[in-house]
Amino acid sequence: MPKSAAMPTLRFAVISEGVYSWPLYVAQAHRLFEREGVQVDVTVTGSSTLQLQKMIAGEYDVGLQQSDHIVRGVEQGSDLFIFMAHGLAPELTLVAAPEIESFADLKGRDIAVDGARTGYALLLRKWLADQGLGDGAYRFVEIGGSRERFDSLKSGATVASLLNPPFDRNLLAEGFKSLGTTGEYFPTYPGSIAAARRSWVAQNEPALLAYIRGFDAGYAWLKDRRNKEAAIGLLPARLNIDRVTADEAYEQIATLPLPAISADGLRQVIDIVWTSEARHGAQGATSKYMDLSYVNKVRDTR
């Protein structure tokens, strides 16, 4: 029996493709997960709501999403937890149709989001409120991942959405407007995280640790500037991305440290969840939603 056939398979879910998944692409291309003793089966779910439901149901072992999904899942009674930061906080652009000149022009219009009460839609809701547009002044339309929201704007079905590269750049090049970026308005908000169920990890800790080692190996390979051209060469099959955007994304990854999530950053997420959903119960400690001991176990032994 081939060695790979005996390896455990980790079912991994990601909502949409993007440069934040670059280390994952590297690890897949160079079989770094297999080198560490685990096979990673990746599914692009296209919906944060669907992904959270399937994570809770045990259909995926590890999921890449935003922290608020996990906070919400735990409050629903699941045993999900954040075990590592997976991506740098993306610089999402609030892209608007060419006729939109200001936030006031969004009044009464349809805005594309993944899930209306999840992920970066929570930040967008706060952002719009700060600009004088409270709930009811606009409509959030749940479309799906970045590609689906891009198509929605381009077709005219909606007039604005938060988009990551290269989708934002492509629309801006066609005359769409930028109303600002998340980095400008929320500079300390954490990026994407990886989560799993505590019950699954209790039975599969070696597979989880192997995944973390493979991810770290992919990130280390990516940060080595000798690999820049080969790294950029991995993107066309995944993303419709121009060279300028790829270079900018690479420079960010190469110059910044590994993604990290702190208790203070997670507390900001918890606060936004409580505010956006008008929750009245006491907020849980960050340890209720996050346990970084597994990633620390891998990195502390180097």
Do residues 177 and 95 make contact, with C-beta atoms less than 8 angstroms apart?
A: yes
Task: Give the pLDDT confidence score for residue 40 in this predicted structure.
Answer: 96
Query: What pLDDT is recorded for position 228?
Result: 96
pLDDT at 2: 46
Domain 3-89+190-300, CATH 1.10.10.10 — does that match?
no
Of the candidates 17, 30, 4, the one whose C-alpha atom is nearest the C-alpha of residue 90 is 17
SS3 166: coil
**CATH superfamily for domain 93-185:** Periplasmic binding protein-like II (3.40.190.10)
CB-based contacts of 182: which residues, under 8 Å, 6+ apart? 89, 90, 91, 92, 94, 120, 123, 162, 189
Question: How confident is the model at residue 120, as a pLDDT?
Answer: 80
Q: CB within 8 A of 232, min separation 6: which ones?
A: 243, 246, 247, 250
- The number of angstroms, rounded, from the C-alpha of 249 to the middle of its chain's C-alpha atoms is 15
Residues lower than pLDDT 50 in the chain: 1-4
Write down how long the chain is: 302
Residue span(s) of the chain under CATH 3.40.190.10 come to 3-89+190-300, 93-185
| Nearest residue to 250 (alpha-carbon basis) of 73, 75, 23, 12 | 23
User: For the segment 89-148, what is each residue's pLDDT rounded down to a tens digit?
Assistant: 777 999 999 999 999 999 999 999 987 877 688 889 889 999 999 989 999 999 988 889
pTM above 0.85, yes or no: no
Sign of CA dihedral 294, 297, 299, 300: positive
Residue 5: the pLDDT is: 54
Looking at residue 178, its pLDDT comes to 97
